[in-house]
């Protein structure tokens, strides 16, 4: 009986390891080595269970190895079946709360591997009618970890975990691309001024701007998928340093075949297992693609914040959806909070990539001890980028509207449109017109007509949306559309007459 205010006694079981005996909570599926890891690595407060796909990957690797060991006669029927059932349950989502070790840990992932070994063993013990901790019947190391080392299981699980995780990012990228394309279609005929170096440049359509954002994300969908395929080469069967010590000669191929069958992913054994056990090149490359995507998405968000700035003292070309009040002191203020949060996600991903690079470089001799932080940062970058893409698409892009009056006024007052006239009136006269327009504030079109450089019909043709937002060939009477691919292929190119006044 406990006294008032005291903590009730918790039922425990005694477990033993290299360092001695410890009391483990009786109902816990993890064991003594996991308990020690909890005490040693109180770092991020982010447990391995934060990444369910990584837990699923660990379970599938352990299931595949159990199958291989059973086929080779190294694991009896009862234990093999119990281990496989436990792994199947964990892969389906059970017992994840027992994966409690911190994602960042010393030991090259040994604590994560032992956490999995102990949870699988204790669940398997229950399946064969034994109690948790009765390892004389089914042991975390002797049976669950048979023919394995952390040094081949952990990197294999990380690779599988990423392969299971990244399709959600691809899906979110596709969703953002579709949303941007729809907005581009919606405003495909609306003209605006393009800008370079924060200065007026030449006209474009709002649709072209949105489609350009879509294209820059679209470029990396295939690149990300192609890069991820490098994770299909694994070192399972390498054990400690790549020599395959403690394994049957047929084990590696069997285990990888079983893992491929379980996951539907075509894994292959690395050509050089010693090299593969210490190499983290695939992680570096994949993280670099995540950084590339982050840089691009952050640039888009910078553009959105600029184009929506104001509403009275900024660009005010776009209206972003109002999703929450913007200030605790300034009434009526609404901030671009969605682009801002996506910017911050991008900064995090860029920083994570630097961590991955340092961790990969820090590996020594036959193993990289820093794979836990590599895995954590890649999985976290993938997770938050997936959410950021969906948030940007649904909470911002889909609801954007355009201030067409502002765009029209900007076009009317801009000197950038004079660029469309250069092929016809020449660079010198166009420069004089631009300087006068800038000095007086008068529209370019009025000055061109006033100086008799063009007549009204010709001017309107050159300043039409079609002429100013796509390649066109000027003619003495107007403009001609760009040559088609068929005309270019056939060589049917009509030469235009040269205006002697412009030939010089």
Find the domain containing 445 and state its range.
Answer: 415-468
Structural domain ending residue among the three candidates 105, 130, 146? 146
Same domain, 166 and 142: no
- What region, left, alpha or beta, does residue 242 occupy, with left being phi > 0 and alpha being psi -120 to 50 degrees? left
pLDDT at residue 258 greater than cutoff 90: yes
Residue 489 domain flag: no
494 assigned to some structural domain: no
Q: From CA 243, how far away is CA 387, in angstroms rounded?
A: 41
Angle subtended at Cα 167 by Cα 166 and Cα 169, rounded to the nearest 5 degrees: 65
DSSP 329-391: SSTT----HHHHHHHHHHHHHHHHHHHHHHHHHT-BTTB-TTHHHHHHHHHHHHHHHHHHHHH
Kindly state whether residue 481 falls inside one of the protein's structural domains.
no
The verdict on 354 and 454 lying in the same domain is no
State pLDDT tens for residues 355-364.
999 999 999 9
**One domain, residues 33 and 87:** yes
The 3-state DSSP class for residue 463 equals coil
State yes or no: is 327 an active-site residue: yes
The number of distinct structural domains making up the chain is 3
The three-state secondary structure class of 309 is: coil
> Which among 146, 178, 195 is the end of a domain?
146
Whether 289 and 386 share a structural domain: yes
Out of 229, 327, 484, 490, which one is annotated catalytic?
A: 327
Distance between CA 62 and CA 45 in Å, rounded?
26
16 Cβ neighbours under 8 A, 6+ residues apart: 22, 32
CATH of the domain at 450: 1.10.40.30
pLDDT of residue 449: 86
Q: Identify whether residues 141 and 77 lie together within a single domain.
A: yes
Decide if pLDDT at 7 tops 60. no
Is residue 19 packed enough to be buried (19+ CB in 10 Å), middle (13-18) or exposed (0-12)? Answer: exposed
Distance in angstroms (rounded) separating the CA atoms of residues 149 and 273: 13
Q: What is the pLDDT of residue 504?
A: 41
- Domain match, 133 and 241 both: no
Q: Let me know whether 356 and 276 are in one domain.
A: yes
Q: Is residue 292 part of a domain?
A: yes
Note whether 313 and 440 are same-domain residues: no
The reply to whether 227 and 362 lie within a common domain is yes
Calculate Rg over the CA atoms of the chain. Answer: 32
Domain presence at residue 478: no
> Do 355 and 373 form a contact (C-beta atoms < 8 A)?
yes
260 and 387 assigned to the same domain: yes
The answer on 121 and 160 residing in a single domain is no
pTM: 0.88
From residue 360, give the alpha-carbon distance in Å to each of 67, 367, 482. Answer: 32, 10, 51
Spatial contact of 358 and 267, defined as CB atoms under 8 Å apart: no
Whether 129 and 172 share a structural domain = no
Q: For residue 81, what pLDDT is reported? A: 98
What lies within 8 Å, CB to CB, of 156 at 6+ separation is: 57, 61, 234, 235, 236, 259
pLDDT in tens, 21-36: 999 999 999 999 999 9
């Amino acid at each position: 009986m406990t006294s008032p205010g005291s903590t009730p006694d918790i039922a425990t079981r005694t477990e033993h390891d290299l360092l001695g005996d410890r009391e483990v909570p009786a109902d816990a599926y993890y064991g003594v080595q996991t308990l020690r890891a909890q005490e040693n690595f109180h770092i991020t407060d982010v447990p391995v269970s934060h990444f369910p796909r990584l837990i699923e990957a660990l379970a599938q690797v352990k299931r595949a190895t159990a199958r291989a060991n059973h086929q080779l006669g190294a694991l009896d029927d009862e234990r093999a079946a119990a281990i496989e059932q436990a792994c199947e349950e964990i892969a389906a989502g059970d017992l994840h709360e027992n994966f409690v070790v911190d994602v960042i840990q010393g030991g090259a992932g040994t604590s994560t591997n032992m956490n999995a070994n102990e949870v699988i063993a204790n669940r398997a013990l229950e399946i064969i009618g034994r109690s948790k901790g009765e390892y004389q019947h089914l042991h975390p190391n002797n049976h669950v970890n048979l023919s394995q080392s952390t040094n081949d299981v952990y990197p294999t699980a990380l690779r599988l975990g990423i392969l299971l995780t990244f399709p959600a990012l691809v899906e979110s990228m596709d969703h953002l691309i579709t949303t941007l394309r729809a907005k581009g279609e919606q405003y495909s005929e609306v003209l605006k001024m393009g800008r370079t170096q924060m200065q007026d440049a030449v006209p474009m359509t709002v649709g072209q701007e949105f489609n350009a954002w879509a294209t820059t994300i679209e470029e990396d969908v295939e690149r990300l998928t192609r890069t991820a395929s490098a994770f299909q080469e694994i070192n399972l069967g390498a054990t400690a340093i790549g020599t395959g010590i403690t394994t049957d000669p047929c084990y590696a191929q069997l285990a990888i075949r079983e893992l491929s069958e379980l996951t539907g992913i075509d894994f292959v054994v690395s050509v050089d297992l010693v090299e593969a056990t210490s190499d983290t090149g695939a992680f570096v490359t994949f993280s670099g693609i995540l950084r590339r995507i982050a840089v691009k998405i952050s640039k888009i968000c910078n553009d959105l914040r600029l184009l929506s700035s104001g509403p009275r003292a900024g660009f005010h070309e776009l209206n972003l959806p109002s999703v929450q009040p913007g200030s605790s002191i300034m009434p009526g203020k609404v901030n671009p909070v969605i682009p801002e949060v996506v910017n911050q996600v991008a900064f995090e991903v860029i920083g994570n990539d630097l961590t991955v690079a340092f961790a990969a470089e820090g590996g020594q001799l036959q193993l990289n001890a820093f794979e836990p932080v590599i895995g954590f940062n890649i999985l976290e970058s993938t997770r938050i980028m997936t959410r950021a893409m969906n948030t940007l698409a649904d909470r911002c892009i889909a609801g954007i509207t355009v201030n067409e009056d502002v765009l029209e006024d900007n076009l009317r007052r801009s000197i950038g449109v004079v660029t469309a006239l250069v092929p016809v009136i020449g660079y010198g006269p166009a420069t004089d017109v631009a300087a006068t327009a800038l000095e007086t504030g008068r529209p370019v079109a009025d000055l061109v007509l006033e100086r008799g450089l063009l007549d009204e019909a010709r001017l309107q043709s050159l300043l039409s949306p079609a002429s100013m937002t796509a390649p066109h060939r000027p003619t003495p009477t107007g403009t001609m559309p760009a040559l088609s691919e068929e005309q270019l292929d056939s060589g049917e190119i009509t030469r235009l007459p040269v205006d002697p006044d412009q030939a010089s």
